[in-house]
Amino acid sequence: IVFLLGLAIPVVRGQDSPPAAPSQEAANSPSHDTKAWDLHFQSTVGAQGHPSFPANYSGLNSLAPGSEIKDTISVDLMGGVRLWHGGEFYGDIVIWQGYGLSNTLGMAGFPNGEAFRVGRTYPDASVCRAYIRQIVGLGGGREAVEDGLGGKKDVRNLTLTVGHLSAKDIFDNNAYANDSRTQFMNWSLMANNAWDFPANTLGFTNGATAELNTRAWSGRLGIFQVSQVANGLRLDWNLTHAWSAAAELERRYSPRGHAGAIRLFSFDTRAHMGSYQDTIDNPTLGENIALTAAYRYKYGFGINLDQEIRKNLGVFARVGWSDGKNQTFEFTDVDRTATTGLSLKGTGWRRPDDTVGLGVVMNGISAAHRQYLAAGGLGVTIGDGALDYNAERILETYYNCGIAKHFQLTLDYQYAGDPAYNRARGPVNLIAVRLHTEF
């Protein structure tokens, strides 16, 4: 039914996250005419698997060493309504089904961004976004608004957002490595994994953000709720002790007409989380880090850049660091990360709607985090029962083919060396196919 509704509804954009700055071509497009309301539809169906791989031992959170195939399905019906001058409401209902490999366990840089950390055999539905956005004009000329409601806004503006959303909607965006539905699939290539970004099990939270924008600069601040327990569905309403703050400064530029941006990012999270060192120091706890839970903090920093180096060819990179003293609470078990890669459009071989991507990942964890896992502790996504530590190394390449209007088919390959930081396991070869539709 949702699919048929999507076919019937006239829409102009299929993205489910805030857009990048519009190009001149986009600004002149009639799609930027002001609309009172708008609806979009997207569907992403994928299957991912790996053959058997060597493993000296396995634990509760290990990637299964035998051959395995899992599928995922997501369907979104997204809409926006203009409330008043500069004021808009956006909502998103997601219907989802399926499982990640080994129940989304076994790799810190997990290979499928469409896999929730909880799986479903039958379709489930959730309101994943419901927020209000207000744009306050501050002058500097006018430019087109590249979203479903269109219109124009002041080049200098203050944008306020409040409601239920993903913190990734606002922070840590990247032109070439951001969307697991059309770009790279690995978690480490769609976000800065050192940022334990605030989210419930499905990846969403409540929060408020403020963005100050000029033609070349943007500054962003946000405050969000965190989960009651690690990787939990319910959010913690003890707001004086549990919250996550984020700040980002973005500089956009165009050397010789090639668009690029660099973003400096920081975060500070307060949550009811356990301590790696306290757990290690008390063997009677049996490596159960939840028994050391108290309201503690975690902080970190990141750099994120993307740059077109020639027409249709772009490069990207992210670097991230967190203090790594307290348990991974929301996202995945990474305290240090460095990623880079290339994205090439298919114009050179007369396939302008196609994209080829190549990305490289290096993930690591703090000394206390290593000791905790080596003693048999479990993280959000990893925990083999022991640990022969080495950095987690991942390579991903994909070919995204525009097979018809509104339809994209992707073939994806990933190589994971020392998955979950363990020399005793792997390497793993992962292959996926993905079909994405948007109207």
Tally of CB atoms within 10 A around 362: 17
Question: Which pLDDT belongs to residue 34?
Answer: 77
HSE (CB half, 13 Å, CA atoms) of 148?
A: 26
20 phi, psi to nearest 5 deg: -80, 175
Residue labelled with tokens 């569905």: 233
**Residues 223, 329: contact at Cβ < 8 Å?**
no
Q: Six-digit token pair at 220?
A: 């962003």
pTM equals: 0.89
- What pairs with residue 15 in β-bridges? none
Q: What pLDDT was estimated at residue 15?
A: 35
Whole-angstrom distance, CA of residue 342 vs CA of residue 254:
18
> What count of other Cβ atoms lies within 10 Å of the Cβ of residue 352?
12
d(CA 354, CA 280): 50
d(CA 21, CA 162): 21
Per-residue pLDDT of the chain (439 residues; tens, 9 = 90+): 333 333 333 333 333 444 344 443 333 344 446 789 999 999 999 999 999 999 999 999 999 999 999 999 999 999 999 999 999 999 999 999 999 999 999 999 999 999 987 888 889 999 999 999 999 999 989 988 877 688 889 999 999 999 999 999 999 999 999 999 999 999 999 999 999 999 998 899 999 999 999 999 999 999 999 999 998 889 999 999 999 999 999 999 999 999 999 999 999 999 999 999 999 999 999 999 999 999 999 999 999 999 999 999 999 999 999 999 999 999 999 999 999 999 999 999 999 999 999 999 999 999 999 999 999 999 999 999 999 999 999 999 999 999 999 999 999 999 999 999 999 999 999 999 999 999 9
Give the max Cα distance, the chain.
67
Residue 23 has, within 13 A of its CA and on its CB side, a CA count of 8
Q: Are 177 and 109 in contact (CB under 8 A)?
A: no
State the pairing for strand pair 336-346/428-438: unpaired
According to DSSP, the β-strands at 428-438 and 407-417 are: antiparallel
